[in-house]
Chains A and B, each alone.
Chain A
Amino acid sequence: MTLRLERGTFTTTFTQRLKELSGQDLFTCYQCGKCSAGCPSASVMETPPHAVVRLAWLGQEKALRGLNTYWLCAACLTCDLRCPKGIDVSRIMEALRVMFLRPREEPDMVAPDSLPKDMLSRIPQQALVAGLRKYTK
């Protein structure tokens, strides 16, 4: 595939939103690949984490859509811990998950008031927050 780069390719709504949601400056990345090298899920990912960062940086929304990388990310935070430029790669993965789920047309898949009270006390807090972020509009 040939990428034709025009001015503005890197400042689309997609890249702006990704920056906003993840809080990470993609330009900081110098593509050393340490995140991919240490990622426990990298062997089963279609595209390793550093390459996802590169595609996101180049504003390649289409190429990113449908990749399994960010779904296989277990948020173990090994990449965040080891990144020499201090980028929280897992936050970028989380932002991608959010961005590709949110615009869906269906109604809220999880209605907060439909959750049984006894279940709420059993669901891990982080899973509950993440679920509500992803599966509500």
Chain B
Amino acid sequence: MRRIGVFCCWCGSNIAGVLDLDLVLQEAGKLPGVVHAEYYKYFCSQPGQDMIEEAIRDNELDGVVIAACSPGMHEGTFRKAAERAGMNRFQLEIVNVREQCSWVHQLDKEAATEKAIRLIAAMVEKTKQNEPLTPGTAPVVQRALVIGAGISGMQAALDIADGGREVVLVEKEPSIGGHMAQLSETFPTLDCSQCIMTPRMVEVAQHENIRLMTYSNVEEVTGSVGNFHVKIRTKAAYVDRDTCTGCGLCIEKCPAKAPSEFSRGLETRKAIYVNSPQAVPNQPVIDAEHCMYLTDGKCGVCKKVCEIGAIDYEQTDRMEEIDVGAIVVATGYDLYEQENFPEFGGGEIPDVIDGLQFERLNSASGPTQGRILRPSDGEEPKQIVFIQCCGSRDPENGVAYCSRICCMYTGKQAMLYKHKVHDGQAYVFYMDIRAGGKGYEEFIQRGIEETNTIYFRGRVSRLYRENGKVMVSGVDTLSGETIEIPADMVVLATAILPSRGAAEVADKLNIPTSDSGFFAEAHVKLRPVETQRRGIFLAGCGQAPKDIPDSVAQAGCAASKALGLLASRTLTTEAQVAVVDEERCAACGMCVTACPYGSRTLDEERNVAEVDESLCEGCGACVAACLNKACELKNLTSRQISTMLGEL
């Protein structure tokens, strides 16, 4: 006969204010096997934990049921208390009578009390059938993978590497730096983006603990925390980037041109190219789609001029498999494209550009060497209109969320415009000014006062071309007037979206995304850099739109989480894992397909399915998939579930 103890927590008035705990306690005491029942105001407090320990010892309990808040809150607290009293931690179970009972049934106290009594009875029956479990251990591969080498990925890689662990940094572009490398100057201090970033880029490239893999993609990820197996594809660059000196002669001589992605189409690049003069690494790659030799077999100029023979037209994609213990996902963002705004010309009006294009215009290494000149005729725009919230906060036609950085960069761009075009006039159409960062509000106000930028609260309805101007029809909701501005150039602060490859990355890593497509954190407030999968962490705009300081801070946080994991050579694995009843198993392989963690394999010789306990996360997908009911989860068997149902 088992000896079970039941503990009902008041949770202040959260539970006691709704449930009749005297009745609950009285009924719980009558349950077969229950030898001890008590309540207390806060069992999570130190005296509360002491009471549980004491009751376990005094009554020689071999099972404990705690009716309290969600197990997500205090399961760990109570299981540790049980362990201190000499009980196996898996003999203690939590009944959630707060979130799932008192909070949701506040208006019907009687029924809520009845429900709590039944939930406790069910859990007492389950606990009686619990076995003591011992978690296993698994080795932790002392290496981390960082996906994406923008400012977030670079920071995470540097922090992990400085912490003494190896890092593999994978970047899909030919060079690192991400979007920050495209920016001219950064708010609110106006330092030059390249100036503050290039030292970091060089440090990444030269760090002894960082292995940089550019022009590469993560193809497949299997395994789980502590031991992920990652397949990485490095795209054919048609250049031996190890021997190439980056002299640039091939780029100079290449006759084929294509629109520059880095300059967002504002200028052309060659078919063999580097993104910018400060690119790290600065060895070029050949764009096979535009290369005349690779498309037509004619040309070959780059090969002829390369003195060290680094050009290799026969090069193919390379695959490599690497094991890592932890992963940081820093895949960043992309912009909502102009074709989504038919009322703004849908990208057809050359003098309507987006925020990143303005950054390139203003950059010393950009298409105009930093002069603000409009794309259509190269004239200096004397009237410029900035439109915020293009696609953001627009649940009908764009995205519902605020893209968070546009207020700040628009204010900055208006200021920088005025610094270069002294006799120009800048206008900003905004919905609200959201300048919630250190020094941000002051920066916006300074911009308005110093540069006499006119802010209109309201949206723009239409942009159209007239006599070489871009006509802006908008409204100033503060004065109630409709506004018409013959502008020379218009800059759209378009919404931030998860980077184009984010969905694929989420799929490969088996991590959830939120409605808007950004990676979902494990807990919005308390676990903001962890994902639902242990060992996979988030940094930067892939999780949500954010500015540089926040990205860097989050990257540092993700790095410290990864280092925390890699600090030990072994880790405790999940104890409540799947088991196979070999008598029933038909080796059909359904469980192998269902398992998201790669823990299931078929033993072809014995003709049964097996569980690798170090990889199993106890999710139960195999239990649901098994046609023969040969799979069970420890301490959550079909028998336990049906007994519980019987009590309800």
Contact = CB atoms under 8 A, between A and B. Distances in A.
Interface of A: 1-8, 10, 25, 27-28, 30-31, 51, 54-55, 57-58, 85
B482 A31 contact: no
A10 B452 contact: yes
A26 B486 CA distance: 23
Contacts, number: 53
A84 B483 CA distance: 27
B425 A27 contact: no
Contacts of A27: 448-449, 452
Interface string B378-409: 00001100000000000000000000000000
Contact of B481 (A3, A25, A30): A3
B427 interface: yes
Contact of B484 (A3, A10, A54, A85): A3
Q: Is the interface of B mostly helix, strand, loop or mixed?
A: strand
Contacts of B423: 7
Contacts of B445: 28, 30, 85
Interface string B407-424: 000000000000000011
A20 B145 CA distance: 63
A5 B483 contact: yes
Contacts of A30: 445, 448
Contacts of A8: 425
Given A31-B478, A54-B478, A7 B424 contact: yes
Contacts of B454: 5, 10, 57-58
Point out which of A3, A51, A85 has the most chain B C-beta atoms below 10 A from its C-beta. A3
A6 B427 CA distance: 11
B46 interface: no
Given A25-B449, A54-B478, A7 B382 contact: yes
A31 B425 CA distance: 20
A65 to B, nearest CB: 16
B382 A58 contact: no
Which of B424, B448, B478, B479 has its CB near the most chain A CB atoms (within 10 A)?
A: B479
List of 4 A-B pairs having minimum Cβ-Cβ separation, nearest first: A2-B482, A7-B425, A4-B484, A5-B485
Contacts of B424: 7
A51 B425 CA distance: 22
17 contacts: A1-B482, A2-B482, A2-B484, A3-B476, A3-B483, A4-B485, A4-B486, A5-B483, A8-B425, A10-B454, A25-B449, A31-B457, A51-B478, A51-B479, A54-B479, A55-B479, A85-B445
A73 to B, nearest CB: 19
A6 B383 contact: yes
B452 A1 contact: no
A5 B449 contact: no
A75 B327 CA distance: 66
B6 to A, nearest CB: 58
B483 A2 contact: yes
B486 A3 contact: no
Contact of A7 (B383, B476, B479): B383
Contacts of B382: 7
Contacts of B448: 27-28, 30
Nearest to B488: A7
A132 B400 CA distance: 58
A94 to B, nearest CB: 22
A31 B457 CA distance: 10
Contacts of B427: 5
Contacts of A6: 383, 486
A1 B448 CA distance: 25
A98 B26 CA distance: 85
Contacts of A85: 445
A99 B595 CA distance: 80
Given A3-B483, A7-B382, A51-B479, 4 more contacts: A6-B383, A30-B445, A31-B457, A51-B478
A31 to B, nearest CB: 5
A54 B478 CA distance: 8
A133 B71 CA distance: 77
Contacts of A3: 476, 481-484
Nearest to A11: B452
Contacts of B484: 2-5
Nearest to A47: B479
B545 to A, nearest CB: 24
Interface in B467-491: 476, 478-479, 481-486
A27 B418 CA distance: 15
Residue among B425, B457, B482, B486 having the largest count of chain A Cβ atoms under 10 Å = B425
Contacts of B452: 10, 27
Interface in B412-467: 423-425, 427, 445, 448-449, 452, 454, 457
A28 B449 contact: yes
A28 B449 CA distance: 6
A68 B262 CA distance: 56
A116 to B, nearest CB: 46
A61 to B, nearest CB: 14
Nearest to B457: A31
A1 B423 CA distance: 27
Contacts of A31: 457, 478
Contacts of A7: 382-383, 423-425
A90 to B, nearest CB: 21
B483 A1 contact: no
A116 B427 CA distance: 54
Interface string B473-515: 0001011011111100000000000000000000000000000
A51 B478 CA distance: 8
A2 B481 contact: yes
Contacts of A1: 481-482
A10 B425 CA distance: 9
B525 to A, nearest CB: 31
Contacts of A55: 479
A55 B478 CA distance: 10
A121 to B, nearest CB: 45
B485 A58 contact: no
Contacts of A57: 454
Nearest to A7: B425
Nearest to A5: B485
B100 to A, nearest CB: 45
A2 B452 CA distance: 21
Nearest to B444: A30
